[in-house]
């Protein structure tokens, strides 16, 4: 008779856990004196089974255990789970151009007094040809800053999840 591998055992264990989690637990109403404790024990067992199903350590001293569980549930229950940036507004290609211009604007040192936006437009007329006024340029740079911050936070969340996965936390 062939011997089962560890992978088969893990699959069987998870299938049994899923079945147990999908069954209703009936807590008898009597004796009423310890009903609340028995109900709490049933809920704690159910939560421990969820942690066990996703291989998350249920130790209450681990502060991030609920976050690990939330990542696992999000990826499991929503296969298309991903973080989406701001919608593209304007003509196609303008978002990429504005992001390149935003990088240049971020490194720009304002050489004279006055608004940085106007001085940048004066010093880089070829790059700012598409903007009629300093206000439209300022609006584009503010939208680019929001997109930049959103991209950075999305990347950090992705890297955090990938690191947890690589370390075997999730």
Q: Is 107 in contact with 124 (CB distance < 8 Å)?
A: no
Averaged pLDDT, 146-157: 81
Q: Are 144 and 87 within one domain?
A: yes
**Which residues are CB-contacts of 170 (< 8 A; sequence separation ≥ 6)?**
54, 55, 56, 68, 71, 72, 161, 164
Q: Are 41 and 118 within one domain?
A: no
Q: Which domain holds residue 97?
A: 63-170
Q: Cα 60–50–27 angle (5° rounding)?
A: 95
Q: Are 67 and 48 within one domain?
A: no
How far, in Å, CA of 164 to CA of 69, rounded? 11
Q: Are 115 and 154 within one domain?
A: yes
User: pLDDT tens digits, residue range 69-99?
Assistant: 888 888 778 777 765 555 555 566 677 888 8
Give how many domains the chain has, as a whole number. Answer: 2
Q: Is the residue at 58 inside a domain?
A: no
Q: Are 47 and 69 within one domain?
A: no
How far, in Å, CA of 60 to CA of 70, rounded? 16
**pLDDT of the residue at 73:** 84
Q: Are 44 and 70 within one domain?
A: no
User: pLDDT tens digits, residue range 108-143?
Assistant: 998 888 889 899 999 999 999 989 888 999 999 998
Nearest to 142 by CA among 131, 157, 154: 131
pTM: 0.43
Q: Are 160 and 88 within one domain?
A: yes
Q: Is the residue at 106 inside a domain?
A: yes
Percent over 90 (pLDDT), the chain: 16
Domain's final residue, options 19, 34, 53? 53
Cis upstream peptide for 92 (omega within 30°): no
How far, in Å, CA of 87 to CA of 95, rounded? 10
């Amino acid at each position: 008779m062939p011997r089962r591998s560890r992978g088969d055992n893990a699959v069987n264990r998870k299938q049994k856990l899923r079945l147990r989690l999908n069954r209703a637990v009936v807590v008898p109403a009597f004796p009423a004196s310890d009903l609340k404790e028995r109900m709490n024990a049933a809920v704690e067992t159910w939560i421990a089974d969820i942690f066990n199903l996703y291989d998350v350590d249920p130790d209450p001293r681990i502060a991030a255990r609920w976050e690990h569980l939330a990542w696992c549930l999000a990826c499991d229950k929503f296969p298309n789970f991903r973080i989406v940036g701001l919608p593209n507004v304007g003509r196609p290609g303008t978002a990429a151009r504005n992001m390149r211009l935003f990088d240049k604007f971020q490194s720009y040192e304002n050489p004279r007094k006055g608004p940085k936006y106007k001085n940048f437009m004066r010093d880089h007329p070829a790059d700012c040809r598409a903007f009629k006024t300093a206000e439209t340029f300022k609006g584009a740079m503010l939208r680019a800053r929001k997109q930049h911050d959103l991209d950075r936070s999305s990347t950090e969340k992705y890297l955090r999840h990938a690191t947890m996965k690589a370390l075997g936390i999730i």
